[in-house]
Amino acid sequence: MLKTSISITALSSISSLGSSSEEVWDSYLDGKHHLSQTHIGDHKVWVSRLQDGIRSSIQELRSPGSNYRNLDDTVLFALYTARKALQQTGWGTGSNFGINMGSSRGATHLFERHHEAYLNNGTTSTLTSPTTTLGNISSWVAHDLKTKGPVISHSITCSTALHAMLNAIAWIQGGLSEKFMVGGSEAPLTPFTVAQMQALKIYSKDSGAYPCRALDLKKKLNTMVLGEGAAIACLEKGEIPNALALIQGIGYATEPLEHEVSISSEAQCFQDSMKMALGNSSLEEVDAVVMHAPGTVKGDLSEYKAIEKVFNGKLPYLTTNKWKVGHTFGASGLLSVEMAVLMLRHQRGIPVPFFPNPESKKEFNKILVNAVGFGGNAVSILLARPKG
């Protein structure tokens, strides 16, 4: 359990599900996936794209004369989402709050473009280095919001956003800050990134009703689909009135690698991170787990087995959002947090069409959220419904 209560006081995201909590919740209830087929390089693949209206708004940040015209989509996604998050708080531009935002791949689009130019010409643009560094996201968001707090960035593959949350909680618990904006941003729909996932043989080739079959434990083929988006949460010390959710526990773990990109058959890293996050809470108090479940055969099954182990076979409600929104890498953990917060608010679970939960929960008061990256860097966050 945490020494100091931490409140989530704002949440903002952009993805194929929408850009407001109302749009996102409606998308969760529609029973459909939000994936589409498009050409990325020479390949026609399934992806999860931002809605056209969101993309148009983001492109306005690149208006002529703007300081942001040369930035990668990962940075612009974060800028746009951070502004929306700040509007939900009473902090105000220029306040003393920290920022920790990261990305798994970073400025992939710009890096690929600059590298191609280098291969063709033997030279590269003056702006190549400053616009492709991983610290680019937090730095530009801090510049845009004029924050006076600490500015941090990191990349821990697909658990990046939840590691950002862990780090911010440590700063708050340590008394070094009382407010933090955390999140992840990803723009991975580029030829080289897709090719990497295809080389791993985990990318979906499914042409059925659900291209990504995350949490289908009977599937024989990998069905991961890449998605673009950003998600940001604002954290504050204490139990703040009108908080969206309370963070009651955090857990993290790594495990020795069996393979460069996989975790063990019973995901020991998840077992350890979930137990740490649960602390002294009874297993019966946990009403649901929002799983990482990337849509791969081994990834989904190993996490499921880890949950079985931790909960002694008495499973809470299990769900995931990747069959709807794809895998957004560094942003995925906070999109899962957003899903959990919406479930707490609306008191309703989001079913997965090919996973049979034994019964529908009548009440959601505590939800565990999981994320893991290549190499078994697992994070678990225990969220609670605010009182009153």
What's residue 285's pLDDT?
95
Task: Specify if 305 maps to a domain.
Answer: yes
> Which tens digit of pLDDT belongs to each residue from 351-378?
999 999 876 667 999 999 999 987 789 9
- 238: pLDDT strictly greater than 70: yes
129/158 Cα distance (integer angstroms): 24
Q: Looking at the domain assignment, is residue 247 inside a domain? A: yes
190 within a domain of the structure (yes/no): yes
With respect to residue 13, please indicate whether it lies within any of the assigned structural domains: yes
Q: In sequence order, what are the residues at sequence separation of 6 or more whose Cβ sits closer than 8 angstroms to the Cβ of residue 181?
A: 82, 85, 86, 97, 98, 99, 100, 101, 141, 145, 147, 232, 233, 234, 235
Whole-model pTM? 0.96
Provide the pLDDT confidence category of residue 260 given band limits of 50, 70 and 90.
Answer: low
Residue at 189 is within a domain: yes
Sign of dihedral through CA atoms 55, 132, 377, 367?
negative
Q: Where are the beta strands (DSSP E) in 327-376?
A: 366-373
Inside any domain, residue 353? yes
Structure-block tokens of residue 343: 């479930």
CATH number of the domain bearing residue 14? 3.40.47.10
Q: Is residue 167 part of a domain?
A: yes
Task: For residue 42, name the pLDDT band (cuts at 50, 70, 90).
Answer: confident
Residue range 242-255, pLDDT digits in tens = 999 999 999 999 98
pLDDT over threshold 60, residue 261 = no
Query: At 92, is the pLDDT very low, low, confident or very high (cuts 50, 70, 90)?
Result: confident
Q: Which residues pair with 47 in a beta bridge?
A: 36, 226
Which tokens sit at 321? Answer: 């959002």
pLDDT digits (tens, 9 = 90+) for 143-180: 999 999 999 998 999 999 999 999 999 999 999 999 99
Alpha-carbon separation of residue 356 from 216, 218, 312, 315 (angstroms): 9, 12, 18, 12
Reported as a single tens digit per residue, the pLDDT across 3-29 is: 888 999 999 999 999 999 999 999 999
Domain span including residue 168 = 6-384
pLDDT classification of 387: cutoffs 50, 70, 90:
confident
Say what percent of the chain tops pLDDT 90.
Answer: 86
Query: Is 1 domain-assigned?
Result: no
**Using one digit for the tens of pLDDT, what is the confidence trace for 322-351?**
999 999 999 999 999 999 999 999 999 999
CB 322 within 8 A of CB 284: no
| Cα gap 373→371, rounded to integer Å | 7
**Cα(128)–Cα(319) distance, rounded to whole angstroms?**
41
User: How many C-beta atoms lie closer than 10 Å to residue 265's C-beta?
Assistant: 12
pLDDT at 361: 66
Which one, of 243, 236, 240, 241, lies nearest residue 169 by Cα? 236
Mean pLDDT of the chain: 94
How many domains are contained in the chain? Answer: 1
Burial classification of residue 92, based on how many CB atoms lie within 10 Å of its CB (0-12 exposed, 13-18 middle, 19 or more buried): exposed
